[in-house]
Each structure stands twice: as C-alpha cells, then as structure tokens.
Structure 1
Amino acid sequence: MHTSADISQNKPLLMLMAVACGLCAGANYYCQPLISSIQHSFNVPQSQVALTVTFAQISYALGLLFIVPLGDIVNKTKFIPILMLGAAIGLGICALAVNLPMLWIGTITAGLFSVAAQVLIPLVTLAVRPEKIGETVGFLMSGLLVGILLSTSLSGLLSNLIHWKMIYILSAILMLVIAAILMRQLPNVSTMQMSYSSIFKSMGQLLKQERRLVYRSLLGGCVFAAMSMLFSTIAMLLTAPPFSLADVWVGVLTLVGVFGALSTQSVGKWADRGYNAKLTWAGCSIMAFSWLLLYIGGHSLLSYALGYGIISLGLAIVHSCNQNIIFQLNPAARSRINSIYMTSYFIGGACGSALGVYAWHHGGWTMVCLTGLVLAAAAAFFALLDQRYNLQHIQQKQS
C-alpha cells in the first residue's frame, strides 16, 4: 500500500497539505460569527440564518459517512483535488448568494466536499514510514485545528472591515489554487478493488472486528462533545454581564486554543514511540481539570481563557492518540476507519453543542461545567476499556 517515496521529509508538501486541511475544515465554520450580518443583509429572521450552521454540520457529517470511505477505492491523488474543487464551488455560491436559500445551497455543497481533508490524512499515512505516522498526522492535524480556530476570527474580522462575503471569496480562490498544486504533487498510492455498496458492509465488519476502533471512536466523541459545549455557550457567557464582551473580542479569545492545536505534532512524535496510553490519560486529566478553571471562569476572564486553552490542549492530545492508534489497525482500510472515527467524533460534537445549550438554560454556567466534567469522566471510562482490551490482546499474542 505504500508509495516508494517517504514524504515525511518533504516539508513544503506537508505544509501545503496542512494548509489544505485547515482551509477545508475552516470552510464549515465561517458562518458562525456572521449570523447577525447575514440577517441584516437578507432581512430574514435570525432563527432561519442560524440554520446555516446546522446545514454546515449535517452536510459535513454526510460527507464523512458517504464520501470519505471512497478514498480506499479511488485514486486519492485525483479525488482530493476534485473534492476541493467541489468545496470551492460551494464557497463561490455562498459569495454570490442573493438570498438565504442560495447561501444554504452553497453551505451544503461546501460542507459535503470539504471532507477532502479527511481523505488527505489517510493518504499521508500510506506515504510515510510506519514509525512516522503519528508525527506526520499530528502536523496535518495542527493545520486542521488552526484552520477551525482561525476561520471564525478571520470571518468576523473581514466582515467588520469589508463585507461578510469576503471570507467566502478569498477562501474559494485559495482552495482552487491549492487544489491545482496538490494535483501535481500528491503521491500515488495503490487502491482496493471494491464496489461502493461493499464499502459499507466492510465498515460494519470493521466495527465488529476492531474493538479498539469502537472504543477510540466513543472516546473521541466524548472529548469533542466537551469542547463543543464551549462552542455553543461561549457567546452566551461572555457577551452577558459581568463580561459584556463584543463579538469580535469573543472571537479573539478563542485564539488561545491555537496553542493546543500546535501541540499535535509533538504529541504525534511521542505516540509513535509507544506512549499512547499515558498520553491519553494525560489528555483526559487535562480536560477534567480545564472544567474547574472554566467554572471559576464564570467570574474571571483570565481563568476562562486559561481553561479554554487547556481544554483545547487536552482535546488535541486525545485526538492525536486516537488517530495514531486507529491508523495502525488496518492499513488497507484507513479511509473507512477514518470515516467511522470522524463520524463518531462529529456526532459527539453535535450532541455536545445541544447539551451545552440545554445545560445553560436549565442550570446556567454551573450546569454546563458539571456536564463537561461528566463528559471528561466518560472519555476516561472508554480510555480504560481500550487500555484493558489492548493489554488482553497483547497477553493473548504472547501466550
């Protein structure tokens, strides 16, 4: 399955791939800080504009489930630029939108095809030496996570300086440029001969055969749910007294999460050396501790910022370990494995967003923090199940 060349030393190509991952992931988050601007532009109720965020999440989840598995049976070198072209078209439709339904069409199109990043990551695992998988995937994940964090800040900033459509115009152009370059530079890897329908049968078999994939997917869903609770409540907490921050400052504060995002390459290096279990426990512990800081952050902006940065670090650690483990399970099925894992990851995110809003309305910030702590405990439970299963598996091999 490996190419003859190892691209882990090709820093310019890896940097380009990391930017592509960030651009694709960020495409689903541009609309979040723009709801008020879009509402005034199209003169429609805010509740209708808010559906744009939901459509972005649903379309991305559908892309993860139905498009990403194709990466195992088609030429990824051609498939990835085609997906990026589709995402660029969707962003272009958003930029040209004259009404809300047209914006929805563009958002759904961009969401479906922006899963190119989740095909790109399995491709990289096939083009590097096995002992470099964690480090290389961690580097791409840094790009992806930074892209998500910067997307909301940049879209809000450009909206204030120029127009809310400017972020869509610039990202569509950049997406097309990077897709054209990647088409020439991406390595070729072999693919499997399999029909589209048999992909989903094999995904069911993978869930039965690979117990660690199940545990790590549930673990990933729990930690992203905890993070997503912050995404859905940050504006409600920080724009109200005692903070009363403007929207632009709320976006700036989220940039503290960049430090966590930039840690993924270092985490990947340690994961490659066999420290996955210890790193996972460290990540879960950090996430639990972050909720204590965030609770104090209900009255202290400094404590909130520290908690936000630390929970981002915990998420990055656990997510990097999860990917390092699942990509080792079955090299021939990495796109399908990534599809299963990332679908679970974003289902967790959607549930976390809903839980955050529910907790806020039924117990305020205290209930949000308690729920986040419960999710961190649930993540630790699945980490324990995974560790026990892995130890049993190792003992069976040795006996």
Structure 2
Amino acid sequence: MKPTLSNSLLYLMSITAGLVVANLYYSQPLLHLISVEFNVSESAVSNVALFTQLGYAFGLLFIIPLGDKISNHTILQYDFGLMIIALLATAFSNSLLLLIVSSFFVGFSSSIPQLFVPMAAQLSNSENRGRSIGIVMSGLLIGILGSRIISGFVGEIYGWRTMYFAATALMLLLFVVLMFKLPKLTPNYKGSYSSLMRSLWYYFKKEPSLRLATIKSALAFAGLCAFWTTLVFLMEENFNYGSSVTGAFGLFGIIGAFGATVVGKLNNKVNKNKIILISAFLLLVSWVVFLVSANSLVGIAIGVILVDLGLQALHITNQNIIFSKNEDARNRVNTIYMVGFFIGGALGTSLGAIMWQHFKWTGVASLGIFFSILIIGIQLIYNKKNYS
C-alpha cells in the first residue's frame, strides 16, 4: 500500500532537502577567508566550490538511480555516514588540496535530497504533484540561499572551520529524525546495478522533453553559480565588505524561493511553455540589472530576487514535465536531469571565476546574459514542436 503524503511528511522532506543541500554552498561566502588562510589566489580557491558541485553531479549519477532499486532507508544509512566523515575532513583540512578532495565528497554525499523530489511526485496524485514538487523545491532553494547567509556570519565571527563542525552535528541529528519519520519505500526494479545505469542512456535518448529540460535548466543554473561564486570578490573589491554581507544577499533570494509553491500550483493551470519563456525573460532581466549594478547594493539585491525567482520557476516547471512520464523510472529521469543541472553549475562556477579574473563584474554579468539568451532561443525554437 502506497504511504500517504501528509503535509507533515512533505514539509519534513522539504526541510531535509534544504539542510542537506546547504552543505554544498557553505563554502561560497567563505572563499576569501580560505584564500587568505592558505595564501592562494581567488581563482585557485574557487576550485573548492567547483569540486563540491562536481561531487554533487557524481553523487546524482551514481547514487540517485539506486532509488529505483534499493530501499530509501538503506541508501540514507550509507550516504549519511559518508557525508559526516566528509564534513569532518573538510573542517580539519590543513591544505587546499585536502580541502578540495573532502569538498568533492561533501558534494557527492549531499546529493541525497534529490531522492525526495521524485518521492514527492510518486506519493502525490496528478492534481497535487506540482504543489508537492514546489514545496520540496522551496526547501531546497531556501537551503541553498540560507546556507550562504549562515556561513557568511559564522565564518566572519568564528572562522570558516566552525561552519563545517556545526554542519556535522546537524547532519547527525537529521539522520536520526529521518530514520524514525520517513516511510520506508521498496522499489520494484529487479535488474542489476549495471543494467540500471545503462538504462539512463535509454531514457536520455527516448525523451526529447527530458533533454531540452536538462539543457535549459543547466544554462540557468550555470549563470546563478557564476554569480554566487564571484559575488564575494565583488563585495571585497568594490564595497570592502566581507563574507557576512555577501551571505546576507541570500535573504533576497529567499523571496524568490517562496515563489516555488505558487509556481507549482500554476503548473496545473497555465501552459508550461509559457511559464518557461517568462522564466527565461526574468533571468535575462536579472542579468541586465546585475550588469549595471556593479556599484549598487540595491541593484544587486533586486537582481538576486529576479534571478532566483526565474530559476525556481524554470526548474519546477521542467521537473513537472519530466515527472509526468516514466513513473517507474522517476529517480533515473531525475538523475539525468539533475546531473546536467549541476554540470551546468560547475561550468558556471569555473567560467565565472575566469570571467572575473579577466573582465571583472562586466564579464560575469555578460556571461549570465549570454546563458539567458540561449535559453530563450532554445525555447522559441523547440516550443513549436511541443516537446514539453
């Protein structure tokens, strides 16, 4: 018998998604502090954020498909063990190399929230699926943005290592709660792990809507990661502010995150192609605002609200599209989509650091504008084919 998706369970999944995914983003407002301690360049220290995101992408690829084969409780037990060890290793790192390696495994093990998005879709009926996905994704995005606020203040007052010790304790507590409260789901897939992984390619080839959704969201997330990776450098250079102010900009992004539930409900009423196009235009406008706001804190705050709202609307709509098909393979479909999403993030992090190094903020904003124009172009070209 399928468990009932109560509001309490739905919000537990949302909170868990936010707390775990926060592990990926604690480092971003702390990059300047880390570069000073290890006496390395801004470009070199950006590899901490880059390898965290790469680790997340690998975790999505190799862990999340198991949600179609293995009990969710079993996956959580092994994953949280690795996560806690990796967070402790990060906190004790005495070199940039060790920090980069441990950050990779923090990212790898913190992919677990992506089990909850298809789980919410599975336990919901078709009428409430958009709302359920929206609520889980709200928690996810609030975790992404809130993590920067918390780590910025903790890093500036207590040092960057304290943030990772606190995260370790929080993950221990969360694991205990999940073991008691989360229903145990046992999937029906009986094939081998290798056949499970091979089937990823099958679904990627089979579903043009999945491929398009992945490309559009990857481009949007690339822009967002370029912004957050380089914002701390802009704050230091143009405003002489530290990590706490950089992290505080996440407060404005949370405004956009709360729009996720609204977007989820709209998905059941409004044409999805229209929502995607509006979202892409929001992204474009946000990057134009960033371009002209290198010396304006108000302009940057407005841009943060717009860019997070645009990404959230695009992301939820794309997920609603891909989860409406292949009910027995939702974890694998989500794997394909999210691997592309975070490869886009890693690309944005790397290109953002390069653009900052050579062209400063103008280069970063121009990169975001370019990504947004690509999304609009893809949507306009393939909208006629009704792939979504």
Which residue identity is paired with 2:154? L
Distance (Å, rounded) in 1 between the aligned partners of 2:317 and 2:191:
29
3-state DSSP of counterpart to 1:26 = helix
% identical equivalent positions: 31
| One-letter amino acid of the structure 1 residue matched with residue 40 of structure 2 | P
Which residue of 2 is the match for residue 13 of structure 1?
9
Q: Distance in 2 between matches of 1:39 and 1:66?
A: 31
- Give 3-state SS (helix, strand or coil) of 1:131's partner: coil
The aligned residue for residue 139 of structure 2 is 143
Q: CA deviation at 1:368?
A: 3.2
Tell me the TM-score normalized by structure 2: 0.91
Match of 2:197 among 197, 200, 216: 200
Assess if the C-alpha contact under 8 Å between 2:156 and 2:242 holds in 1: no
**Matching residue of 1:106:** 102
Distance 2:155 2:364 in 1: 30
Write out per-residue CA displacement over residues 265-284 of structure 1, whole angstroms, 9 at most, x where no aligned residue.
11111113353222111111
Structure 1: gaps spanning 5 or more residues: 394-399
TM-score w.r.t. length of structure 1: 0.89
Q: What amino acid maps onto 2:106 in structure 1?
A: A
The question of 1:327 aligning with 2:323 is answered: yes
Separation in 2, partners of 1:303, 1:273: 33
Q: Deviation of residue 386 (structure 1)?
A: 4.4
Cα pair distance change 1:201/1:21, threshold 3 Å = same
Counterparts in 2 of 1:95 and 1:357: CA distance versus 1, 3 Å: closer
Structure 2 runs not aligned, ≥5 long = none
Among 227, 247, 269, the alignment partner of 1:230 is 227
Distance 1:295 1:160, change over 3 A: closer
Question: Contact 2:45–2:96 at 8 Å: present in 1 too?
Answer: yes
The match for 2:2 is 4
Task: Quote the Cα distance in structure 1 between the aligned partners of 2:314 and 2:270.
Answer: 14
| C-alpha RMSD of the superposition | 2.3
Aligned to 2:272: 276
| Partner Cα distance (2:35, 2:379) in 1 | 43
Q: Is the 8 A contact 1:21 1:144 kept in 2?
A: yes
SS at match of 1:194: coil
Shift of 1:100: 4.8
Instruction: Provide the residue aligned with 2:84 in structure 1.
Output: 88
Give the Å deviation of 1:373: 1.9
Q: Does 1:337 align with 2:320?
A: no
Cα shift at 1:342: 0.8
Q: 1:31 to 1:300 in 2, by over 3 A?
A: closer
* C-alpha separation in 2, matches of 1:48 and 1:301: 27
Matched-pair contact (CA < 8 Å) for 1:85–1:175 = no
- Tell me the residue number matched to 1:118: 114
Alignment check: 8 A CA contact 2:142 2:254 kept: yes
Structure 1 residues 51 and 377: CA distance shift in structure 2, 3 A = closer
Q: What do the CA deviations read for 1:84-140 (whole angstroms, capped 9, x no partner)? A: 332122212323445555544532332211111112221221112122121111111
Counterpart residue number, 1:397: none
Q: Which amino acid counterpart does residue 86 of structure 1 have in structure 2?
A: L
Q: 1:116 to 1:287 in 2, by over 3 A?
A: same
- Range with bigger deviation, 103-112 or 117-126: 103-112
